[in-house]
Chain A
Amino acid sequence: MNNLSVEHLTGIKDLTSADIELILNTAETFKQVINRPIKKVPSLRDITIANLFFENSTRTRLSFELAEKRLSADVVNFSAASSSVKKGETLIDTVNNILSMKVDLVVMRHPNPGAAKFLSERVDARVINAGDGTHEHPTQALLDAFSIREQLGTLEGKKVVIVGDILHSRVALSNIYCLQKMGAEVMVCGPTTLIPKYISELGVKVEHNLRRALEWCDVANMLRIQLERQDIKFFPSLREYSMQFGLDKQLLDSLSKRIIVMHPGPINRGVEITSDVADSDQSIILQQVENGVAVRMACIYLLASKIGR
């Protein structure tokens, strides 16, 4: 197996486990590349990539841009705040205008679920989803899987708990698909109001007690409370949430085994995770960011190799 089964990367749901394996293995060699004195390879020097961000982002956007530049692709950036979208242009018109300037691949973040899939069916370019509303964030899930595999050697049979705002999290959904396809067991943990009603249909365990969840797992992925997506109150106060579902050093040290702590960022220190946990040696938050560039290089490299001449 040395070719992706998909033409676009819109979600982990469409990938096979062989696809994921291929991406992770390719990312390993790219991680070597970005640790060399010269971090750049000439593979994509005839490819142009547009980064379209209709929603705020720091990490993902920088990570994609660095990945593209380290593959020698030409990059154009676009953010909705300073564009004609504000003047009433539709998504497809915006993208087609950009594509007529000979762009081969589009990386898009959009607030509406399904936007990447919608686009991939209607425009003549490869599409990579960099987060579509509360739906999927495939490259984040791939880099999380890569980071876990790097720490534990394999994903097969490992237990991962995702804690926090599962309802509004695209990271959670992509992670569930990705981890399950790679043979890991997944549990979600959070207040009842922030756990989707039928999530157990996906084959994940549900737990409302953080200590029990942490005792069960090998890896804890702590998610941010996405206040910007919450139109009603889902819990009484951040302080109460943090008391019940926040991870602090005392709780971490009292567990019967050493677990790995992850966070997709941005961190709200003192809410879902305290500073001493975020900065502890059990946390791999910064390694995740480093791996993000390698994983995105792998995704872009593998998709770009399918672009016809």
Chain B
Amino acid sequence: MEKQIILNKRHIDLTLKRLCYQLIESHNDFSNSVIIGLQPRGIHVVTRLKKQLEEILGKEVVCGNLDITFYRDDFRRREKPLIPSATNIDFVIEGKNIIIVDDVLFTGRTIRAGLDALLAFGRPARVELLAFIDRRFNRDLPIQADYIGKTVDTLSEERVSVEWSETEGEDKVILFTPDSNE
């Protein structure tokens, strides 16, 4: 299995910084905006964004995690039950501007489920999507991101994995084709 590195640590840092300034452009000081990361992998992007945004703005940026397990459309189509992660939204989303964050935007089905899950918490004013990696030619649903870290062109059998120093030991984004027995 050959692994190709699409982004290394330096690229990731630059990309995150650019995304932060893009977010500030449309959300000013985040006084009515919150960031929600999708479990399980989107939350790492949020952790990094939060840190940088707070350094730039000099104030706290409200962030949460959202688990979408119970809203997925592939329940019972898998061998094993989908095991949920924690949801942590301890603020009111009513009337807020929300930025949903995930690491890889692929078929769009996760985001569809994320929107359903989010709306169970109330009625936000506006919802936007930030995808750290956008695999643009593989969409099943009409969903596009408002903020994109990097667009990559991939075949549907390829995988893109965003790895972080906190969990995998190193910041990098890799592209690979899994072995057929995987």
- Chain A residues whose C-beta falls within 8 Å of the C-beta of B70 in the assembled complex: 33, 41-43, 71, 301
Q: Is B169 close to A, CB under 8 A?
A: no
Given contacts A38-B120, A41-B70, A42-B116, contact A32 B81 (CB under 8 A): no
Per the bound structure, the CA–CA distance linking A31 and B78 in Å amounts to 24
The answer to whether A37 touches B122 (Cβ under 8 A) is yes
Given contacts A29-B67, A38-B120, contact A305 B87 (CB under 8 A): no
Q: Is the interface of B mostly helix, strand, loop or mixed?
A: loop
Q: How far apart are A165's CB and chain B's nearest CB, in angstroms? A: 37
Question: Given B77, B81, B85, B87, which contacts A302 in the complex, CB threshold below 8 Å?
Answer: B81
Q: Is A307 close to B, CB under 8 A?
A: yes
Given contacts A36-B120, A38-B121, contact A26 B76 (CB under 8 A): no
Question: Given B71, B82, B121, which contacts A305 in the complex, CB threshold below 8 Å?
Answer: B82
Q: Is the interface of A mostly helix, strand, loop or mixed?
A: loop
The answer to whether B81 touches A301 (Cβ under 8 A) is yes
Residue of A nearest to B86 (CB): A29
Q: Which of B71, B76, B82, B120 has the most CB of A within 10 A?
A: B76
Residue of A nearest to B68 (CB): A41
The answer to whether B83 touches A26 (Cβ under 8 A) is yes
- Chain B residues whose C-beta falls within 8 Å of the C-beta of A12 in the assembled complex: none
Interface residues on B, range: 20 to 34
Per the bound structure, the CA–CA distance linking A25 and B81 in Å amounts to 13
The answer to whether A305 touches B76 (Cβ under 8 A) is yes
Per the bound structure, the CA–CA distance linking A107 and B140 in Å amounts to 37
Per the bound structure, the CA–CA distance linking A42 and B119 in Å amounts to 13
Q: Is B21 close to A, CB under 8 A?
A: no
Per the bound structure, the CA–CA distance linking A33 and B77 in Å amounts to 23
Residue of B nearest to A307 (CB): B76
The answer to whether B76 touches A29 (Cβ under 8 A) is no
Q: How far apart are A20's CB and chain B's nearest CB, in angstroms? A: 15
Question: Given B72, B82, B121, which contacts A37 in the complex, CB threshold below 8 Å?
Answer: B121
Interfacial residues of chain B within 38-95, with CB under 8 A of chain A in the complex = 67, 69-72, 75-78, 80-87
Q: Which of B81, B83, B86, B120 has the most CB of A within 10 A?
A: B81
Residue of A nearest to B116 (CB): A42
Q: Is A280 close to B, CB under 8 A?
A: no
Given contacts A29-B67, A33-B70, A41-B70, contact A305 B81 (CB under 8 A): yes
26 contacts between A and B (CB under 8 A): A2-B81, A2-B83, A3-B81, A4-B81, A22-B83, A26-B83, A29-B67, A29-B84, A29-B86, A32-B87, A33-B70, A36-B121, A38-B120, A38-B121, A40-B120, A41-B70, A41-B71, A41-B120, A42-B70, A43-B70, A43-B71, A43-B72, A301-B81, A305-B75, A305-B80, A308-B76
Give the 6 A-B CB pairs with smallest separation, nearest first: A305-B81, A41-B70, A38-B120, A29-B84, A43-B70, A2-B83
